[in-house]
Chain A
Amino acid sequence: MEFESRREASPEAEEERYDVFVQWRRGKPHEYAETINASDPEMAFLLARRNVDLRSEPLSIWVAPRSSMVQSELGDSTLRPSTDRSYRSVAHYAHGGDYGSEEAAEEAAEEAGQ
Protein backbone atom coordinates (compact mmCIF):
# COMPACT_ATOMS: atom_id res chain seq x y z
CA MET A 1 0.00 0.00 0.00
CA GLU A 2 1.10 3.53 -0.55
CA PHE A 3 1.42 5.42 2.66
CA GLU A 4 2.14 9.05 3.25
CA SER A 5 4.29 8.15 6.20
CA ARG A 6 5.40 5.10 8.10
CA ARG A 7 3.43 6.29 11.07
CA GLU A 8 0.24 6.25 9.09
CA ALA A 9 1.06 2.73 7.95
CA SER A 10 1.33 1.41 11.47
CA PRO A 11 -0.63 3.47 13.95
CA GLU A 12 0.62 2.73 17.41
CA ALA A 13 -2.80 1.72 18.62
CA GLU A 14 -2.78 -1.34 16.40
CA GLU A 15 0.71 -2.52 17.11
CA GLU A 16 2.18 -4.02 20.19
CA ARG A 17 5.71 -4.49 21.43
CA TYR A 18 7.02 -8.01 21.45
CA ASP A 19 10.23 -8.89 23.23
CA VAL A 20 12.40 -11.43 21.45
CA PHE A 21 14.54 -13.97 23.34
CA VAL A 22 17.14 -16.09 21.62
CA GLN A 23 18.98 -19.21 22.71
CA TRP A 24 22.37 -19.26 20.98
CA ARG A 25 23.92 -22.41 22.46
CA ARG A 26 22.66 -25.68 23.82
CA GLY A 27 22.28 -25.58 27.58
CA LYS A 28 22.50 -21.78 27.70
CA PRO A 29 19.56 -19.63 28.68
CA HIS A 30 17.42 -17.64 26.23
CA GLU A 31 18.72 -14.08 26.19
CA TYR A 32 16.82 -10.91 25.46
CA ALA A 33 17.71 -9.95 21.88
CA GLU A 34 15.45 -7.16 20.67
CA THR A 35 11.97 -5.70 20.64
CA ILE A 36 9.70 -5.98 17.61
CA ASN A 37 6.60 -3.96 16.81
CA ALA A 38 3.91 -6.18 15.36
CA SER A 39 0.16 -6.49 15.04
CA ASP A 40 -0.09 -9.98 16.54
CA PRO A 41 2.04 -12.92 17.73
CA GLU A 42 2.17 -14.59 14.31
CA MET A 43 3.55 -11.47 12.62
CA ALA A 44 5.88 -10.85 15.56
CA PHE A 45 7.33 -14.34 15.21
CA LEU A 46 7.77 -13.97 11.42
CA LEU A 47 9.52 -10.62 11.80
CA ALA A 48 11.60 -11.74 14.80
CA ARG A 49 13.13 -14.61 12.86
CA ARG A 50 14.26 -12.28 10.08
CA ASN A 51 15.50 -9.58 12.45
CA VAL A 52 17.88 -11.69 14.53
CA ASP A 53 21.30 -12.64 13.24
CA LEU A 54 20.67 -15.95 11.49
CA ARG A 55 24.32 -16.30 10.54
CA SER A 56 25.08 -16.92 14.21
CA GLU A 57 22.72 -19.88 14.01
CA PRO A 58 20.28 -19.38 16.86
CA LEU A 59 18.84 -22.59 18.30
CA SER A 60 15.51 -21.26 19.41
CA ILE A 61 13.55 -18.01 19.41
CA TRP A 62 10.78 -16.90 21.74
CA VAL A 63 8.55 -13.88 21.29
CA ALA A 64 6.23 -12.58 24.00
CA PRO A 65 4.08 -9.48 24.17
CA ARG A 66 5.70 -7.14 26.66
CA SER A 67 2.27 -6.48 28.15
CA SER A 68 2.02 -10.14 29.18
CA MET A 69 5.11 -9.91 31.37
CA VAL A 70 4.75 -8.95 35.02
CA GLN A 71 7.56 -6.55 35.84
CA SER A 72 9.05 -5.03 38.97
CA GLU A 73 9.43 -1.30 39.24
CA LEU A 74 12.80 0.40 39.28
CA GLY A 75 14.08 0.73 42.89
CA ASP A 76 11.67 -1.86 44.24
CA SER A 77 12.78 -2.11 47.89
CA THR A 78 11.50 -5.66 48.28
CA LEU A 79 14.30 -6.78 45.98
CA ARG A 80 16.88 -5.95 48.67
CA PRO A 81 17.51 -7.72 51.98
CA SER A 82 15.69 -5.92 54.78
CA THR A 83 18.26 -6.43 57.53
CA ASP A 84 22.04 -6.32 57.60
CA ARG A 85 23.43 -9.70 56.72
CA SER A 86 27.01 -8.68 56.11
CA TYR A 87 28.14 -11.13 58.83
CA ARG A 88 27.37 -13.86 56.29
CA SER A 89 30.28 -12.80 54.12
CA VAL A 90 33.90 -13.65 54.81
CA ALA A 91 34.85 -10.07 54.04
CA HIS A 92 33.08 -8.96 57.16
CA TYR A 93 35.51 -10.92 59.37
CA ALA A 94 38.52 -9.81 57.38
CA HIS A 95 38.06 -6.48 59.08
CA GLY A 96 38.98 -7.83 62.46
CA GLY A 97 35.57 -9.12 63.27
CA ASP A 98 34.52 -5.70 64.27
CA TYR A 99 31.07 -7.03 64.57
CA GLY A 100 28.52 -4.45 65.33
CA SER A 101 30.40 -1.45 64.07
CA GLU A 102 28.27 0.17 61.38
CA GLU A 103 31.30 1.51 59.57
CA ALA A 104 32.88 -1.93 59.31
CA ALA A 105 29.63 -3.49 58.20
CA GLU A 106 29.18 -0.93 55.46
CA GLU A 107 32.71 -1.36 54.29
CA ALA A 108 32.30 -5.11 54.26
CA ALA A 109 29.02 -4.90 52.41
CA GLU A 110 30.61 -2.65 49.81
CA GLU A 111 33.45 -5.08 49.23
CA ALA A 112 31.11 -8.04 49.10
CA GLY A 113 29.06 -6.24 46.51
CA GLN A 114 32.04 -5.74 44.19
Chain B
Amino acid sequence: MSLDVPALSSEVAKPFLLSLADDELVMGHRLSFWVARGPTIEVDNEVAAIVQDELGHARLWYDVVAEAGETIEDLAFGRPAGQRRNTVLVEAPMADFGETIVRQFLYDRAEELFLSAIRDGDDAELSARAEVALREEAFHREHADVWLDHLSETEESRAHLEAGFEACLPRSRDLFAFPEGTSQELVEAGVLDRAIPTLHTEWIEEVVSTLSDLPLDVPLRTSPIENDAADIPDALEGEPATNGRLGEHTDELVELAENGFTEF
Protein backbone atom coordinates (compact mmCIF):
# COMPACT_ATOMS: atom_id res chain seq x y z
CA MET B 1 0.00 0.00 0.00
CA SER B 2 1.51 3.29 -0.97
CA LEU B 3 0.94 6.23 1.29
CA ASP B 4 -0.30 9.62 0.23
CA VAL B 5 2.23 12.01 1.71
CA PRO B 6 2.41 15.14 -0.47
CA ALA B 7 4.88 16.80 1.91
CA LEU B 8 7.47 14.18 0.95
CA SER B 9 7.85 15.87 -2.43
CA SER B 10 10.00 18.40 -0.60
CA GLU B 11 13.66 17.40 -0.79
CA VAL B 12 14.32 18.11 2.86
CA ALA B 13 11.31 16.20 4.21
CA LYS B 14 12.86 12.74 4.02
CA PRO B 15 16.20 13.69 5.67
CA PHE B 16 14.28 15.56 8.38
CA LEU B 17 11.92 12.66 9.17
CA LEU B 18 14.90 10.29 9.07
CA SER B 19 16.55 12.50 11.70
CA LEU B 20 13.57 12.01 13.98
CA ALA B 21 13.47 8.27 13.32
CA ASP B 22 17.22 7.96 13.94
CA ASP B 23 16.84 9.91 17.21
CA GLU B 24 14.14 7.53 18.40
CA LEU B 25 15.97 4.40 17.33
CA VAL B 26 19.26 5.28 19.02
CA MET B 27 17.52 6.64 22.14
CA GLY B 28 15.33 3.54 22.43
CA HIS B 29 18.32 1.27 21.90
CA ARG B 30 20.46 3.04 24.49
CA LEU B 31 17.59 3.12 27.01
CA SER B 32 17.07 -0.61 26.67
CA PHE B 33 20.34 -0.97 28.59
CA TRP B 34 18.33 -0.37 31.78
CA VAL B 35 15.93 -3.23 31.22
CA ALA B 36 16.82 -5.61 34.06
CA ARG B 37 19.47 -3.17 35.30
CA GLY B 38 17.30 -0.43 36.86
CA PRO B 39 17.10 0.30 40.58
CA THR B 40 14.07 -2.01 40.98
CA ILE B 41 12.05 -4.38 38.83
CA GLU B 42 9.21 -1.86 38.79
CA VAL B 43 11.58 0.73 37.29
CA ASP B 44 12.80 -1.84 34.74
CA ASN B 45 9.22 -2.27 33.57
CA GLU B 46 8.64 1.45 33.44
CA VAL B 47 11.77 2.08 31.36
CA ALA B 48 10.97 -0.90 29.13
CA ALA B 49 7.60 0.69 28.36
CA ILE B 50 9.37 3.87 27.25
CA VAL B 51 11.83 1.86 25.14
CA GLN B 52 8.87 0.32 23.32
CA ASP B 53 7.37 3.76 22.76
CA GLU B 54 10.59 5.19 21.31
CA LEU B 55 11.19 2.23 19.00
CA GLY B 56 7.54 2.36 17.94
CA HIS B 57 7.93 6.03 17.03
CA ALA B 58 11.08 5.21 15.05
CA ARG B 59 9.01 2.71 13.02
CA LEU B 60 6.33 5.35 12.36
CA TRP B 61 8.84 7.64 10.63
CA TYR B 62 10.98 4.99 8.90
CA ASP B 63 7.77 3.52 7.52
CA VAL B 64 6.58 6.79 6.08
CA VAL B 65 9.87 7.65 4.30
CA ALA B 66 10.73 4.14 3.09
CA GLU B 67 10.80 4.07 -0.70
CA ALA B 68 9.70 1.17 -2.88
CA GLY B 69 11.81 -1.89 -2.07
CA GLU B 70 13.22 -0.29 1.09
CA THR B 71 12.28 -1.85 4.44
CA ILE B 72 12.16 -0.31 7.90
CA GLU B 73 15.01 -2.62 8.87
CA ASP B 74 17.16 -1.41 5.97
CA LEU B 75 16.74 2.15 7.16
CA ALA B 76 17.12 1.39 10.85
CA PHE B 77 20.04 -1.03 10.82
CA GLY B 78 21.56 -0.89 7.36
CA ARG B 79 22.84 2.69 7.12
CA PRO B 80 26.44 3.63 7.96
CA ALA B 81 26.98 6.30 10.62
CA GLY B 82 27.77 8.95 8.02
CA GLN B 83 24.24 8.70 6.62
CA ARG B 84 22.56 8.93 9.99
CA ARG B 85 21.06 12.18 11.20
CA ASN B 86 20.35 11.65 14.90
CA THR B 87 21.47 14.14 17.53
CA VAL B 88 24.75 13.24 19.27
CA LEU B 89 22.84 13.67 22.56
CA VAL B 90 21.48 10.12 22.26
CA GLU B 91 24.71 8.40 21.16
CA ALA B 92 26.66 7.57 24.32
CA PRO B 93 26.02 4.23 26.00
CA MET B 94 24.02 4.49 29.23
CA ALA B 95 25.97 4.06 32.44
CA ASP B 96 24.54 6.40 35.06
CA PHE B 97 20.86 6.53 35.98
CA GLY B 98 21.00 10.25 36.83
CA GLU B 99 22.53 11.06 33.44
CA THR B 100 19.89 8.89 31.77
CA ILE B 101 17.08 10.91 33.34
CA VAL B 102 18.72 14.19 32.25
CA ARG B 103 19.19 12.86 28.72
CA GLN B 104 15.57 11.73 28.57
CA PHE B 105 14.38 15.09 29.83
CA LEU B 106 16.37 17.10 27.25
CA TYR B 107 15.55 14.71 24.42
CA ASP B 108 11.85 14.13 25.10
CA ARG B 109 11.13 17.84 25.44
CA ALA B 110 12.67 18.41 21.99
CA GLU B 111 10.85 15.42 20.53
CA GLU B 112 7.55 16.65 21.87
CA LEU B 113 8.08 20.03 20.19
CA PHE B 114 8.95 18.46 16.82
CA LEU B 115 5.90 16.21 17.06
CA SER B 116 3.56 19.05 17.97
CA ALA B 117 4.83 21.09 15.00
CA ILE B 118 4.22 18.13 12.65
CA ARG B 119 0.78 17.45 14.14
CA ASP B 120 -0.16 21.08 13.53
CA GLY B 121 1.34 21.04 10.05
CA ASP B 122 -0.59 20.65 6.77
CA ASP B 123 0.20 17.06 5.80
CA ALA B 124 -2.64 14.83 6.97
CA GLU B 125 -0.66 11.57 7.04
CA LEU B 126 2.30 13.04 8.93
CA SER B 127 -0.02 14.90 11.28
CA ALA B 128 -1.92 11.71 12.14
CA ARG B 129 1.32 9.88 12.89
CA ALA B 130 2.60 12.70 15.10
CA GLU B 131 -0.70 12.64 16.97
CA VAL B 132 -0.28 8.93 17.74
CA ALA B 133 3.27 9.44 19.02
CA LEU B 134 2.28 12.48 21.10
CA ARG B 135 -0.21 10.42 23.09
CA GLU B 136 2.76 8.61 24.65
CA GLU B 137 4.85 11.71 25.12
CA ALA B 138 2.71 12.91 28.03
CA PHE B 139 3.93 9.92 29.96
CA HIS B 140 7.55 10.55 29.03
CA ARG B 141 7.18 14.10 30.26
CA GLU B 142 5.79 12.89 33.58
CA HIS B 143 8.56 10.28 33.87
CA ALA B 144 11.25 12.97 33.50
CA ASP B 145 9.48 15.38 35.85
CA VAL B 146 8.95 12.84 38.63
CA TRP B 147 12.48 11.46 38.43
CA LEU B 148 14.16 14.89 38.22
CA ASP B 149 12.16 15.84 41.27
CA HIS B 150 13.05 12.72 43.21
CA LEU B 151 16.71 12.72 42.28
CA SER B 152 16.92 16.33 43.50
CA GLU B 153 16.30 15.19 47.05
CA THR B 154 19.71 14.00 48.25
CA GLU B 155 23.17 15.43 47.88
CA GLU B 156 24.40 12.28 46.17
CA SER B 157 21.61 12.14 43.61
CA ARG B 158 21.89 15.89 42.93
CA ALA B 159 25.56 15.34 42.07
CA HIS B 160 24.54 12.71 39.51
CA LEU B 161 21.99 15.06 37.91
CA GLU B 162 24.44 17.95 37.82
CA ALA B 163 27.08 15.76 36.19
CA GLY B 164 24.37 14.59 33.79
CA PHE B 165 23.54 18.14 32.74
CA GLU B 166 27.22 18.96 32.36
CA ALA B 167 27.65 16.00 30.01
CA CYS B 168 24.36 16.38 28.11
CA LEU B 169 23.97 20.12 27.56
CA PRO B 170 26.92 20.43 25.13
CA ARG B 171 25.70 17.35 23.25
CA SER B 172 22.20 18.76 22.90
CA ARG B 173 23.39 21.71 20.84
CA ASP B 174 22.73 19.92 17.57
CA LEU B 175 19.10 19.03 18.38
CA PHE B 176 17.82 21.93 16.26
CA ALA B 177 20.94 22.53 14.11
CA PHE B 178 19.53 21.35 10.78
CA PRO B 179 21.21 22.33 7.50
CA GLU B 180 20.66 25.84 6.20
CA GLY B 181 17.28 26.33 4.57
CA THR B 182 15.72 23.18 6.04
CA SER B 183 13.40 25.01 8.36
CA GLN B 184 11.86 27.33 5.80
CA GLU B 185 11.35 24.56 3.30
CA LEU B 186 9.71 22.28 5.87
CA VAL B 187 7.25 25.01 6.80
CA GLU B 188 6.51 25.78 3.14
CA ALA B 189 5.96 22.08 2.41
CA GLY B 190 3.54 21.87 5.34
CA VAL B 191 5.63 19.35 7.31
CA LEU B 192 5.93 21.80 10.22
CA ASP B 193 3.57 24.52 11.34
CA ARG B 194 6.39 26.68 12.68
CA ALA B 195 10.09 27.27 12.08
CA ILE B 196 12.79 25.17 13.72
CA PRO B 197 14.43 28.21 15.40
CA THR B 198 11.04 28.88 17.03
CA LEU B 199 10.97 25.31 18.37
CA HIS B 200 14.52 25.80 19.58
CA THR B 201 13.51 28.90 21.52
CA GLU B 202 10.54 27.06 23.04
CA TRP B 203 12.87 24.22 24.07
CA ILE B 204 15.38 26.59 25.70
CA GLU B 205 12.54 28.23 27.63
CA GLU B 206 11.32 24.86 28.89
CA VAL B 207 14.78 23.70 29.90
CA VAL B 208 15.62 26.97 31.67
CA SER B 209 12.24 27.01 33.42
CA THR B 210 12.55 23.39 34.62
CA LEU B 211 16.11 24.01 35.83
CA SER B 212 15.08 27.12 37.73
CA ASP B 213 12.60 24.99 39.73
CA LEU B 214 15.21 22.42 40.71
CA PRO B 215 17.76 22.81 43.52
CA LEU B 216 20.63 22.08 41.14
CA ASP B 217 23.80 23.95 40.39
CA VAL B 218 23.88 23.88 36.59
CA PRO B 219 25.75 26.78 34.99
CA LEU B 220 23.93 27.77 31.82
CA ARG B 221 26.52 30.30 30.84
CA THR B 222 29.99 29.34 29.75
CA SER B 223 31.16 32.90 29.04
CA PRO B 224 30.57 36.19 30.88
CA ILE B 225 27.56 38.32 29.92
CA GLU B 226 28.69 41.09 27.63
CA ASN B 227 25.58 43.24 27.75
CA ASP B 228 22.07 43.21 29.17
CA ALA B 229 20.51 41.88 26.01
CA ALA B 230 22.66 38.77 25.97
CA ASP B 231 20.54 36.70 28.30
CA ILE B 232 20.52 33.60 26.10
CA PRO B 233 22.18 30.75 27.99
CA ASP B 234 25.09 29.82 25.75
CA ALA B 235 25.40 26.38 27.33
CA LEU B 236 22.22 25.61 25.40
CA GLU B 237 22.66 27.62 22.25
CA GLY B 238 26.32 27.49 21.28
CA GLU B 239 27.57 25.91 18.06
CA PRO B 240 27.59 22.11 18.26
CA ALA B 241 31.10 20.61 18.31
CA THR B 242 29.75 17.58 16.46
CA ASN B 243 26.53 18.04 14.49
CA GLY B 244 24.58 14.81 14.08
CA ARG B 245 22.08 16.58 11.82
CA LEU B 246 24.89 16.94 9.26
CA GLY B 247 25.95 13.30 9.55
CA GLU B 248 28.77 14.03 12.01
CA HIS B 249 28.88 11.51 14.84
CA THR B 250 30.85 10.27 17.81
CA ASP B 251 32.76 6.97 17.68
CA GLU B 252 30.06 5.51 19.91
CA LEU B 253 27.50 5.75 17.12
CA VAL B 254 29.95 4.59 14.45
CA GLU B 255 30.50 1.45 16.48
CA LEU B 256 26.78 0.95 17.01
CA ALA B 257 26.06 1.33 13.29
CA GLU B 258 28.89 -1.06 12.43
CA ASN B 259 27.63 -3.79 14.73
CA GLY B 260 24.08 -3.28 13.43
CA PHE B 261 22.69 -2.34 16.85
CA THR B 262 23.44 -5.75 18.28
CA GLU B 263 25.47 -4.51 21.26
CA PHE B 264 25.16 -1.91 23.96
Contacts and interface: CB of A to CB of B under 8 A. Distances in A.
Contacts of B150: 39-40, 43
B40 A51 contact: no
Given A39-B150, A46-B143, A50-B49, A2 B95 contact: yes
Q: Is the interface of B mostly helix, strand, loop or mixed?
A: helix
A43 B145 CA distance: 11
A50 B39 contact: no
Interface residues of A, number: 19
A1 B98 contact: yes
Interface string A19-61: 0000000000000000011111011001101110000000000
B153 to A, nearest CB: 9
A6 B37 CA distance: 8
A16 to B, nearest CB: 12
Interface string B136-154: 0001001100100110000
A42 B146 contact: yes
Contacts, number: 44
A1 B160 contact: yes
B98 A50 contact: no
B42 interface: yes
Contact of A46 (B39, B98, B146): B146
B71 interface: no
A89 interface: no
A6 B43 CA distance: 11
Nearest to B151: A1
Nearest to B100: A1
Given A2-B95, A43-B150, A46-B142, A36 B39 contact: no
B255 interface: no
B40 A9 contact: yes
Nearest to B146: A46
A38 B139 CA distance: 18
B42 A36 contact: yes
Contacts of B139: 49-50
B157 A1 contact: yes
A50 B40 contact: no
Nearest to A46: B146
A114 B44 CA distance: 43
Which 4 A-B residue pairings sit nearest by Cβ, starting from the closest?
A9-B39, A50-B46, A47-B42, A1-B97
Given A1-B96, A6-B39, 17 more contacts: A1-B97, A1-B156, A1-B157, A2-B95, A2-B97, A3-B39, A9-B40, A36-B42, A38-B42, A43-B146, A43-B150, A46-B146, A47-B45, A47-B46, A50-B45, A50-B46, A50-B49
